[in-house]
Amino acid sequence: MDIIEKNKKEMLQKKVWAVVGATPDTEKFGYKIYKKLKAHGYTVYAVNPKYEKIEGDKVYKDLKDLPEKPECIDMVVGPKISKMILNEIKELEIPYVWFQPGTFDEETIDKAEGYNLNIVYYDCVLVALGE
């Protein structure tokens, strides 16, 4: 089993997630992933400075605002923002990051690997949870 598969398996066993880029827009992946994780019994925190609530759930401005430290971060933002958020992830010592397709570039992945994070990319959480 390659490292990505191993990370994916480990991540799906983690129970506390944060979705960076969660959105109340039901058409967007930030919404679908947030809802899917919740539907599968995960504790999920929405992180997006642009919104206050998603269907009554509080949306947090950043990872530092969360009431508990997530075990896993799901990125649903552009590569530029992903790269910036990595600093916060490292600072908070969150071990797992799942980059949705389109949320990373080579530089982002290099940075995440440089921080020794356990990462998954080129894979979608929705597919992994069986959409």
Q: Tell me, what's the pLDDT at 130?
A: 85
Q: Structural domains in the chain?
A: 3-124 (3.40.50.720)
Task: Give per-residue pLDDT as tens, 2-22.
Answer: 888 999 999 999 999 999 999
**For the chain, what percent of residues have pLDDT higher than 90?**
92
Q: Is 80 in contact with 102 (CB distance < 8 Å)?
A: no
Whole-model pTM?
A: 0.95
Across the chain, what does the average pLDDT equal? 96
* Cα–Cα nearest to 52, from 16, 23, 20: 23
Q: Tell me, what's the pLDDT at 74?
A: 97
Q: 131 pLDDT exceeds 70? A: no
Task: Give per-residue pLDDT as tens, 19-38.
Answer: 999 999 999 999 999 999 99
